[in-house]
Amino acid sequence: MRNLYLLSFIVVCGFLASCSKGGSQGELVGAYNKKFKNKTIPMGMVFIPAGRTLIGMTDEDNTFYKGAQSRMTSFPAFYMDQTEITNAEYRQFVNWVRDSVAITSLGRSGAPNLYKAQPTATAGGPAVVGQDQIDWKRVGNGSPLWGKSSTLKPRLQNMYYSGNDAIQGKTEFDVRKFRYAYSYLDKDLALAGENDPTKSRQDFIQSYTDNPTPGKANEHPSVSVYPDTMVWKRDFSYSQNDPMVDAYFNHPSYDTYPVVGVSWDQATAFCHWRTSLYRNVASARRQPENGRLRYRLPTEQEFEYAARGGRTQTKYPWGGPYIKNTKGCLQANFKVGRGNYTDDGGLYTVDARAYLPNDYGLYNMAGNVAEWTVTAYNRSATSLLSDFSPNYTNVAKGAKVVRGGSWKDMGFFLQNSVGTYEFQDKAKSYIGFRCVSDYPGNALN
Please state the rounded mean pLDDT for residues 337-353: 92
| 7: pLDDT strictly greater than 70 | no
- Would you say how long the chain is, in residues? 445
Poorest-pLDDT segment among 50-59, 283-292, 366-375:
283-292
CA–centroid distance for 250 within its chain = 21
What CATH code is carried by the domain that includes residue 68?
3.90.1580.10
Q: Return the higher-pLDDT residue of 123 and 237.
A: 237
Contact 56, 70 (CB under 8 A): yes
| Residue 409 covered by a domain | yes
| Residue 125 covered by a domain | no
| Chain segment 320-344, per-residue pLDDT in tens | 788 988 888 899 999 998 889 999 9
* Residue 78 main-chain phi, psi, to 5 deg: -155, 170
Task: Give 382's pLDDT tier (boundaries 50, 70, 90).
Answer: confident
| Residue 23 covered by a domain | no
pLDDT at residue 144, as a whole number: 86
| Residue 138 covered by a domain | no
Task: Give 173's pLDDT tier (boundaries 50, 70, 90).
Answer: very high
Dihedral over Cα of 237, 238, 241, 245: its sign: positive
Number of domain units in the chain: 1
| Chain segment 59-82, per-residue pLDDT in tens | 555 555 556 678 889 999 999 999
Task: Give 31's pLDDT tier (boundaries 50, 70, 90).
Answer: confident
Residue 98: which of 8, 198, 7, 179 has the closest Cα?
A: 179
| Chain segment 111-133, per-residue pLDDT in tens | 998 998 876 655 454 545 556 88
Q: How many CB atoms lie within 10 A of CB 421?
A: 18
| Residue 34 covered by a domain | no
Q: Return the higher-pLDDT residue of 258 and 311.
A: 258
Please state the rounded mean pLDDT for residues 107-111: 91
230-239 contacts at long range (C-beta below 8 A, 24 or more positions apart): 230/261, 231/260, 231/261, 231/427, 231/428, 231/429, 232/261, 232/429, 234/429, 235/428, 235/429, 235/430, 236/429
Task: Give 20's pLDDT tier (boundaries 50, 70, 90).
Answer: very low
Give the separation between CA 92 and CA 278, rounded to whole angstroms.
Answer: 13
User: HEC string of the chain?
Assistant: CHHHHHHHHHHHHHHHHHHHHCCCCCCCCCCCCCCCCCCCCCCCEEEECCEEEEECCCCCCCCCCCCCCCEEEEECCEEEECCCCEHHHHHHHHHHHHHHHHHHHHHHHHCHHHECCCCCCECCECCCCCCCCECHHHHCCCHHHHCCCCCCHHHHHHHECCHHHCCCCCCCECHHHCEECEEEECHHHHHHCCCCCCCCHHHHEEEEECCCCCCCCCEEECEECCCCCCHHHHCCCCCCCHHHHHHCCCCHHHCCCECCCCCHHHHHHHHHHHHHHHHHHHHHCCCCHHHCCCEECCCHHHHHHHHCCCCCCCCECCECCCCECCCCCECCCCCCCCCCHHHHCCCCCCCCCCCCCCCCCCCCCCCCCEEEEEEECCHHHHHHCCCECCCCCCCCCCEEEEECCCCCCCHHHHCCCCEEEEECCCCCCCEECCCEEECCCCCCC
pLDDT at residue 380, as a whole number: 81
92: left (phi over 0), alpha (psi -120 to 50) or beta: alpha
Task: Give 1's pLDDT tier (boundaries 50, 70, 90).
Answer: low
| Residue 317 covered by a domain | yes
| 427: pLDDT strictly greater than 80 | yes
| Chain segment 198-230, per-residue pLDDT in tens | 999 999 999 999 999 998 989 999 999 999 999
| 15: pLDDT strictly greater than 60 | no
Give the structural domain span for 311.
46-86+294-445
| Residue 413 covered by a domain | yes
pLDDT at residue 422, as a whole number: 97
Residue 353: which of 436, 256, 431, 260 has the closest Cα?
A: 256
| Residue 235 covered by a domain | no
